[in-house]
Amino acid sequence: MSNTIWIFAQQKNNTVAPAAFELLSVGKSLAEQLGGTVEAVTFGKDIQAIAAALFDHGAQQVHAVQHDSLGHFSDDLYAGLLAELIKQHQPAIVLGIASTYGRALFPRTAALLEAPIAGDVRSVKIDNGAVICEKPVYGGNATAVISFAGHRPAMITVRPKTNPEAGSTGGTGQARLIELPAGLVARNVVSESVAAEGGEVSLAEADIIVSGGRGIKAAENYKLIENLAGVLGAARGASRAIVDAGWVPYSRQVGQTGKTVNPKLYIACGISGAIQHLVGMQSSRVIVAINKDAEAPIFSVASYGIVGDLFAYVPAITKYFAEKLG
């Protein structure tokens, strides 16, 4: 088994997911601890620009499989291909993004390899030769420590927005192009991927999120959330209550049964803070809560709290930032 660290660089529309650069930062640190190298693996229909971006952000080698069938994510095809490459090259650790795709790909790949896996971790380090991961559990009230000891490869998905991105190094290189094995065929083929709402900031990748809850009282009042998000260049989120009510689409739901997010700033408007919601956002760096109920659970995790009427405060905050940010 080598001391090589692999990161799986997920792409969409021939663009590397920003969280892949976070994985390169984690991978570089682990490679330094092991005295090895950090390398990237990517699949796609056209990987030239993707490979260039990975080299530029510190990948010392890029293993790339280019084929028309790999343009869109396919869990069985991707997993079979990734497992085959891991068998051939024997990396010590394989890192992926704890995204919708990563949560589908890595467990399937680990099963094919009969390899150990840790999902949705926040940190990874080497301690006396063992790979040690930490992840929040019980709604963030405790931290689980997972050790891989001598088991390799260690398959790990890392929660986005928990590590710094590797910066541009100006590095270049020639990707190692790999043929798609003839025996690997997807049982399900994705012919097209359509964004739910064009131009909207992704919750998973947003640095700022503005979310609304039942306190907005009616579907038409979600416009307050949209206005503030628009001024801040933020993603728009929602609690389960207003998603279940049909006021906003499920794609905006933050929480245990929605998306787990970790932005630099999370603004919760009219959200009481049920544990289901807190699980999905309480690791945000700064949390601002606006709620008229001073006893609302959301204030227990908030960095700053405003006890008051959101219908007065949200428009005022929106106006203030509109003037300051132009």
Predicted confidence (pLDDT) per residue in 247-298, tens digit? 999 999 999 888 888 899 999 999 999 988 998 898 899 999 999 999 999 9
The predicted pLDDT at position 6 comes to 98
* pLDDT confidence band for 28 (50 / 70 / 90): very high
The predicted pLDDT at position 77 comes to 92
Q: Which whole number is the average pLDDT over 90-103?
A: 93
**Residue 96 reports pLDDT greater than 80:** yes
Q: Which whole number is the average pLDDT over 123-151?
A: 86
The predicted pLDDT at position 195 comes to 60
The predicted pLDDT at position 273 comes to 94
CATH code 3.40.50.620 region(s) in the chain = 5-178
Q: What is the pLDDT of residues 205-220, one digit of tens each?
A: 899 999 999 999 999 9
Largest CA distance in the chain: 63
The predicted pLDDT at position 298 comes to 96
The predicted pLDDT at position 300 comes to 94
Q: How far apart are CA 267 and CA 211, in angstroms?
A: 6
- Strands ordered across the beta sheet of 117-121: 117-121, 154-158, 93-97, 5-8, 38-44, 62-66, 176-178
Whether CATH 3.40.50.1220 fits 208-325: yes
Q: Which whole number is the average pLDDT over 295-323?
A: 96
The predicted pLDDT at position 199 comes to 55
Q: How much is the mean pLDDT over the chain?
A: 91
Q: What is the pLDDT of residues 153-181, one digit of tens each?
A: 999 999 888 888 999 999 999 999 998 88
17, 99 in Cβ contact below 8 A? Answer: yes
Q: How far apart are CA 99 and CA 267, in angstroms?
A: 22
CATH code 3.40.50.1220 region(s) in the chain = 208-325
The predicted pLDDT at position 288 comes to 98
Burial class (CB in 10 A: 0-12, 13-18, 19+), 197: exposed
* pLDDT confidence band for 137 (50 / 70 / 90): confident
The predicted pLDDT at position 118 comes to 95
* pLDDT confidence band for 125 (50 / 70 / 90): very high
CATH numeric code, 5-178: 3.40.50.620
